[in-house]
Amino acid sequence: MSRDFQRHMPGMERHLGRRASIFYRLHLDPVMLGLLIILCFVGLFILYSASGQSWEHVEKQAIRFALAFTVMFVFAQFDPVFFKRWSPFLFVMGVAALAGVMFFGTGAKGAQRWLQIPGLPRFQPSEFMKLVVPMMVAWYLSKRYLPPSLKSVAGALVLIMIPVFMIVKQPDLGTSILIAAAGLFVLLFAGISWKIVGAFVATLAAFAPIMWTFVMRDYQKQRVLTFLDPESDPLGSGWNIIQSKTAIGSGGWWGKGWLEGTQSQLNFLPESHTDFIIAVCAEEFGFVGVLGLLFLYLLIVLRGLHIAVKAQDSYSRLLAGSLILTFFVYVFVNIGMVSGLLPVVGVPLPLVSYGGTSVVTLMSAFGVMMSIHTHRTMISR
């Protein structure tokens, strides 16, 4: 009751009234919302070309956007305190679901990623964990003294590694990297000592050969090898990266024009409407087009960091910072892999690549951020 009272103090309404009060009442951040809508339209525009001018793809994706924005809106209505309170429960649920995937999961191409529970739509618990792992770590650390002690760091690492290893085992390298990053970002924002960061990086480097031998599957190793030398198998696994580099490079300063990209329109570029869609953008809109898209992503990241910095309690801060940085990792890993800077891991370009799961996950993360930004109290908790 008292919290409700605080939240609806008339003075605060007046204080914030200058800024779009209607958005505030709807718990939406108009700046972020505007940027996301622009990004989605840009995405649909590129998708039309990348899918071989398929209205069907565009319509499907637009419906997913509509669904995802609804999810975002719903998430934004909850108070961050609600998320905080439920974090441990959601985490346990998520780990349980991941365990379910290990034993009863379904999937294709040798990877088990989906869980089919009778009466529920088929879903991917690992997607769910992208949101829940940073929540859990933020919950864990917000209860402790910050900057975190070595013990707290160890506790947080355990919380991160449990789901990450379960997802690596599916195997799904792309998602596990994103989840690990999301968890580690929380630690970073919490003020983890640079010494620990250094030690951690060193340990990771030392463990790399062990990962290579025992953890990574053959196809994952192949991806790394292909990344190191795509020409070694130009028609096989190197084909994708050679064709995407060709698409990007042939775009030049200004690109070949919308629907005029020969690499994508003539099907030389594989996966052109999903993971490799940035190559279509680069081919048709050139370096200038890529800069424009990167600028849009930068604005979203900046706005996200702004929300994080303005957050009123440590849980919200840590969570918002982690979510927005993870969003940027999506962008970096995707463009890095398509341009041959990183090995190929299955990470989509956020809100531009065709596909429903990542769109919903991303938009629910933005919903959480909007909730953080719009459920403010006069007194910092």
Partner 1 sequence: MRHSQPLKDPNREKRIYAFRTVIALLVVAIMLAALIVRMYDLQVENHEHFQTLSDKNRMQLRSVSPTRGLIYDRNGVLLADNQPIFSLVVVPEQVESLEQMYLQVAAIVSLSADEITSFKRRLKRSRRPYQSVVLKSNLDETEIARVEVRRHELEGVEVQAELARYYPLAEATSHSLGYVGRINEKELKSLDVKNYSATRYVGKLGVEKFYESELHGTVGFQTVEANASNRVLRVLESVAPEPGKNLYLHLDARLQLRIMDMLKGKRAAVVAIEPSSGGVLALVSTPSYDPNLFVTGIDHASYSALRDSLDIPLFNRALRGQYPPGSTIKPIVGLGGLDVGATTKEYSIMDYGRYQLKNDKRIYRDWKRQGHGRMDLFGAIEESCDVYFYELAFNMGVDEMSRYLGFFGFGSNQSLDISEARSGILPDRDWKRAIRGLPWFPGDSLNMGIGQGFMLSTPLQLATATAVLANRGKWVAPRLLRETGDGSIVLSQRPDTGSDVELNKPENWEYIVDTMEAVMHSKKGTARGSGRKAAYRIAGKTGTAQVVGIAQGEKYDAEALAERHRDHALYIGFAPADDPKIAVAVIVENGGGGSSTAAPIGRAVFDEWLVNLPLEEGGVLDES
* Binding residues for partner 1 (CB under 8 A): 143-147, 185, 188-191, 243, 245-253, 262-263, 265-268, 282, 286-287, 290-291, 294, 298, 301, 305, 308-309, 314, 317, 321, 325, 328, 332, 335-336, 339-341, 380
- By beta-carbon proximity to partner 1, the closer residue of 221 and 310 is 310
Nearer to partner 1, 54 or 339 (CB): 339
In the bound state with partner 1, the residue whose beta carbon lies nearer, of 66 and 294, is 294
Q: For residues 352 and 16, give the distance between their C-alpha atoms in angstroms, rounded to a whole number.
A: 33
The three state secondary structure string of 364-381 is: HHHHHHHHHHHCCCCCCC
- Residue 17: CB minimum distance to partner 1, A: 26
**CA 124, CA 140: separation in Å to the nearest integer?**
24
Q: What are phi and psi of 123, to 5 degrees?
A: -140, 170
> 3-state class of 114 per DSSP?
strand
Nearer to partner 1, 58 or 325 (CB): 325
Phi, psi for residue 70 in degrees, rounded to 5: -60, -45
φ, ψ of residue 315 to 5 degrees: the values are -55, -50
Minimal distance, residue 262 CB to partner 1, in Å: 4
User: Which token pair is 18?
Assistant: 């200058």
Give the shortest CB-381-to-partner 1 separation in angstroms. Answer: 9
Closer Cβ to partner 1, 86 or 287, answer by number? 287
- Cα 141–Cα 142–Cα 145 angle in degrees, nearest 5: 75
Q: How far is the CB of 335 from partner 1 (least distance, A)?
A: 5
The encoded tokens of residue 286 equal 């050139």
The smaller minimum CB distance to partner 1, of residues 24 and 328, is found at 328
- Angle in degrees, CA 247, 251, 256, rounded to 5: 110
**C-alpha atoms less than 13 angstroms from C-alpha of 103 in its C-beta half-sphere:** 6
Q: What span, in angstroms and rounded, lies between the C-alpha atoms of 160 and 119?
A: 30
How many other CB atoms are there within 10 angstroms of residue 192's CB atom? Answer: 23
Nearest CB to partner 1, comparing residues 71 and 311:
311
Minimum distance of partner 1 from residue 360's CB (angstroms): 24
Give the HSE-up count for residue 335: Cα atoms under 13 Å, Cβ half-sphere.
17
307 touches 32 (CB < 8 A): yes
**Least CB distance to partner 1 at residue 253 (A):** 6
For residue 298 the two structure tokens come to 């930068």
Q: Which is nearer to partner 1, 83 or 189 (CB)?
A: 189
Rounded to the nearest 5°, which phi and psi values hold at 271?
Answer: 55, 35
* CB of 322 vs partner 1, minimal distance in Å: 10
Q: How far apart are the first and last CA of the chain?
A: 15
Nearer to partner 1, 24 or 330 (CB): 330
Least separation in angstroms between residue 379's CB and partner 1 is: 11
Spatial distance between the Cα atoms of 87 and 331, rounded to a whole number of angstroms: 26
CB 315 within 8 A of CB 80: yes
Distance in Å, CB of 201 to partner 1, minimum: 13
